[in-house]
Amino acid sequence: MLTPLFERFVEKAPVSVMVRGLLERCMGALALNKIYEHASDRQYTNTLLFSSVFELMNLVVCKIQPSIHAAYQDHQQEIGTSITSVYNKLNGIETSTSRALVVETAQELAQFVRQLKGSCPAWLPGYKVKVLDGNCIEASEHRLEVLRHTSSGALPGKSLVIYEPELEMATEVFPCEDGHAQERSLLGEVSETVEARDVFIMDRNFCVQDFLDRLAQRKAFYICRQHKGLPWKAESKERLIGRVEGTRIYEQWVRISNRQGDTRKVRRIRIVLKKATRDGEKELTILTNLSKTAAPAKLIAELYRKRWCIETAFQELEAHLHSEINTLGYPKAALFGFCVALMAYNALAVVKAALRSVHGVDKVSNKISGYYLAGHLARTHEGMMIAIPEQEWMIFSVMSDEAFTQTLRSLAEKVSLLKFKKHKRGVKKPLTKRTQNLNQPHVSTARLIAD
């Protein structure tokens, strides 16, 4: 039985209640501390609980607090330790712990997406499509002593992320503390997670024969842009398949070889573009080991074009959430912040799935703005947490999966989509040339309008 005040938030801010319910159920203190104890090799819990540090980072990532110090100052009494202890804990969180947090919570959140029947339409029915890409965390401020004498940008780390478009979630992350490391050096870790009938969509940076071989050996598939350095030999003549929106699509069979001289027969699909890419390229060449029956050439071209969804996800992480906190100079802390942002993004994906199950795929996918969703959460969170005692949220952690799924659906029915309507930008206009008058550094807007 909910209190009248709780009921008011249910009616007026159902999205905030959904997110807080998901955090309580999937990212509560007991669950987080259990993941931490299981994944951590060197760190241990003394006085400061891992869940307390997570809560501080989550407040910053969701733009509820501007910094870790501000979040600590607001929750100092509950934490009970010094700010130095908080930073020491943050700076020592192992990348294995950050990765485990994303993977294990994503698995649980994905179950609710499926139970809600709120998945997006499958890109390739019968296969699990995964988009693989890298993300480099932006340069941090030069606060650490080792950075104070260099003017170069300090990169605190990078990571590879696997994004599943059917769930609209980041289901895997491979963090690396070396900001200058080549992304290909992490492909060995990616290989260990590959399952049969996975389809990896990747850019040319991941077009490495050894990695492509490992995918094929595990009965997985790939749609990968060809790297110019990859050796290949034509097995058949190239032929025109057709035209799509002004682009011409060609296809042929080729053999690609690795350093040991082993070869594999794959399809090579060349796309001649109507307009050049932002890099000035007029052609894209894609390699795939999918059969023509499973995925015709035109479909392969369309699937590769959709690869940009992960770039959009990274942009949303940066714009709507505080995923790259440049005041965190230590690599482990910066990567932990990025992984917490992925968890928040995945929680919002469940909210979108609940909305899709009630309002329809088209309305939510094309007309709901992540910017307005994130802004709504940041505005309502603090007041909601002050008004509703902590113990009242425990109702979400004790109910059955079926009851929780039904609760999410009931809350989604109360959401007014107009509050989060997406506004598509019009056609960009060319910049107007501006005149410069050194003797007149300022002008009166009112006078210019009057004239």
Pick the closest to residue 57 from 389, 250, 342 (CA basis).
342
**Which tokens belong to 95?**
């990348």
383 or 413, higher pLDDT:
413
C-beta separation of 98 from 339 below 8 A: yes
Both structure tokens of 5 = 């005040």
209 within domain boundaries: no
Q: Is residue 287 part of a domain?
A: no
Q: So what's the pLDDT on residue 125?
A: 94
Q: What is the pLDDT of residues 22-39, one digit of tens each?
A: 989 999 888 888 888 888
Judge whether 221 and 195 are in contact, CB under 8 Å.
no
For residue 162, what are its two tokens?
A: 């696997």
Q: Evaluate if residue 313 carries a pLDDT over 80.
A: no
Q: What is the pLDDT of residues 78-132, one digit of tens each?
A: 888 889 998 888 888 999 999 999 999 999 999 999 999 999 999 999 999 999 9
Residue 293 has pLDDT above 60, yes or no: yes
State how beta strands 221-225 and 283-288 pair. Answer: antiparallel
* Residue whose entry in the numeric block shows the structure tokens 């979400």: 396
pLDDT at 319: 65
212 lies in some domain = no
pTM of the model: 0.89
Q: Judge whether residue 305 has pLDDT over 80.
A: yes
Query: What is residue 204's predicted lDDT score, i.e. its pLDDT?
Result: 92
Give residue 17's domain range.
Answer: 4-94+320-420
Residue 281 lies in a domain: no
**CB-based contact 162:130 (threshold 8 Å):** yes
In a domain, 89, yes or no: yes
H/E segment holding residue 9 = helix 4-12
Contact between residue 321 and residue 341 where contact means Cβ atoms under 8 Å apart: yes
Q: pLDDT tens digits for 199-226? A: 999 999 999 999 999 999 999 999 999 9
- Residue 200 resides in a domain: no
Structurally, the chain folds into a number of domains equal to 1
Judge whether residue 431 has pLDDT over 90: no
In tens, the pLDDT along 119-178 reads 999 999 999 999 999 988 887 777 777 777 788 888 888 999 999 999 999 999 999 998
Residue 72 within any structural domain of the chain = yes
| Structural domain contains residue 296 | no
pLDDT over 70 (residue 325): no
